[in-house]
Amino acid sequence: MLDIKELTMQHHKDAERQEFVRILMSGQIDEKLYATYLYNQLQCYSVLEKYGLHNSLFRDTPGLLRAEHIHYDYRSLWTDIGAPPEITESTKEYVKHIESIQDEAMKLYAHIYVRHMGDLSGGQMIKRKVPGLGKYYEFKFNKNPEHGITYKDTNEIKEALRLAVDSHYVYNDASDKDKNVNNVVYEARQCFGFATDLFKEMLQFIKNNEKRFGDGTTK
């Protein structure tokens, strides 16, 4: 039996191998470029968390919510309120996609799994490499006191996320599930695909603004 991590592994690798990820992890990414990336992430997380909250998907894990943290980091780096950064086409498409599944809780949860699991994992390495305070990647582990559960560390939260997704589906054949648009794995792969597209567009944004950003770093 395969789990969601195994069934999305190739899509995850495709996202991680993008050139913009190398720039992000270089420790030298341009502040305004990073702010532009944050602004796009803010659009994605805001809509996802809005409908996630509407469907009670963060009831037990309010500490996972990222939009406010991303906004804090973005505003610390981008001071021109009247002229926000460019929003990429993939970000616009992602917002539309999430709006199209706003009442389908498990589809939304697949996106929460991909994004917030990434923040709990690779995000902890990114935090040490990017400008600003890195609030985006800071987590508090206490769950909602009303429900009486706490997490000791990121590993416990990651396991809870994985189990919540895997408990709803049994994956015996990955190829058959590819054809099922209602499948959580399909949505998780979609999420990785949108992330890959954003990374590609951010790289193109650098190339289109070479005089301003050079190769995207401050070196």
Which domain, by its residues, includes 55?
4-210
Task: State the Rg of the chain over Cα.
Answer: 17
- Average of pLDDT values for 33-60? 95
pLDDT of res. 55 = 93
**Inside any domain, residue 163:** yes
**Inside any domain, residue 127:** yes
pLDDT digits (tens, 9 = 90+) for 64-92: 899 999 999 999 999 887 899 999 999 99
What's the structural domain count of the chain? 1
pLDDT of res. 179 = 47
**Inside any domain, residue 219:** no
CATH of residue 147's domain is: 1.20.910.10
Write down the mean pLDDT value for the chain: 86
**Does the pLDDT value for residue 170 go beyond 80?**
no
Q: Of 153 and 209, which is predicted with more confidence?
A: 209
**Inside any domain, residue 216:** no
**Inside any domain, residue 126:** yes
- The confidence band for 150, taking pLDDT boundaries of 50, 70 and 90, is low
**Inside any domain, residue 80:** yes
Q: Rounded distance, CA 105 to CA 118, Å? A: 20
pLDDT of res. 23 = 96
Q: Which residues contact 64 (CB under 8 A, 6 or more apart)?
A: 58, 112, 116, 139, 157
Neighbours of 80 (CB within 10 A): 9
- The confidence band for 169, taking pLDDT boundaries of 50, 70 and 90, is low
**Inside any domain, residue 215:** no
Q: Counting beta carbons within 10 angstroms of the beta carbon of residue 76, is it exposed (0 to 12), middle (13 to 18) or buried (19 or more)? A: middle
pLDDT digits (tens, 9 = 90+) for 92-147: 999 999 999 999 998 999 999 999 999 999 888 999 999 998 899 988 765 555 55
